[in-house]
Amino acid sequence: MIEITHLTKKYAGRAVVDDISFTCRPGTVTGFLGPNGSGKSTTLRILCGLTPPSAGSATVLGGAYRDLPNPARRVGVLLDASAQHGGRTGREALTLACLTVGAPRGRVAELFAQVGLDERAARKRVRAYSLGMRQRLGLAVALLGEPEVLILDEPANGLDPEGIAWMRTLLRSFADRGGTVLLSSHLLGEVQAVADQIVLIHHGRVVEQGRTADLVAGGRSLEDLFLTHTASGTETTP
């Protein structure tokens, strides 16, 4: 469903993503981890057609995201929870997205209920939303077209513990129904609880990847794994 192959992105001759490869299969959640500046967001932007690669490829559903007909009906994307127009109400923002992708208008009420935003939130201007509410609205937009794939960059930012637990259940349920989730997050405990596989990136390179159960075997946590590769600030050979 998602295939990253020898992907490289350079700015001014410096590789911020350096020859990385991994695959996300149907029915799985992939945790995409790394410190700030490691290349996670750049990778996701390339995958969604927002940034061109310098070399390699990033495909979803067998091709480039931008080549999919009406891609929002097949791939749900949340890269920036603050991207919605602050002057619109939540209902207006979701209704406009609905009209744009050709989804039935009835999806608006369904999705507000699904992401835990009530009628009061639907009437409120997005500029008055908390970060957690913006994340929920962004997830509603991502789910609008009933997609097969979700690509999410730090979707739990701003959520309280109850909201984080709700998101974990949502993503696990989506994958268990056959969907594919690529999830970038700094909440290592939550990723460990929901992800089937882990891809850890540092200084633009994949330094560890594999099944979550294998990587945390023997009582090791994702935090231990993360610190092993990033605490020194030096690159590790994949």
Q: Where are the domains of the chain?
A: 1-74+149-238, 84-146
Residue 235 has pLDDT above 60, yes or no: no
Total number of residues shown for the chain: 238
Q: Which residue has the tokens 């990385």?
A: 20
Q: What is the pTM of this model?
A: 0.92
User: 138: phi > 0 → left, psi -120 to 50 → alpha, else beta; which?
Assistant: alpha
**Average pLDDT over the chain, rounded to an integer:** 92
Per-residue pLDDT tens for 197-232? Answer: 999 999 999 999 999 999 998 888 888 888 888 875
Model pLDDT for residues 8-29, shown as the tens digit of each residue: 999 999 999 999 999 999 999 9
Alpha helices in 76-221 (DSSP H): 90-101, 107-114, 119-123, 131-143, 161-176, 188-194, 212-215
CATH number 1.20.1250.20 given to 1-74+149-238: no
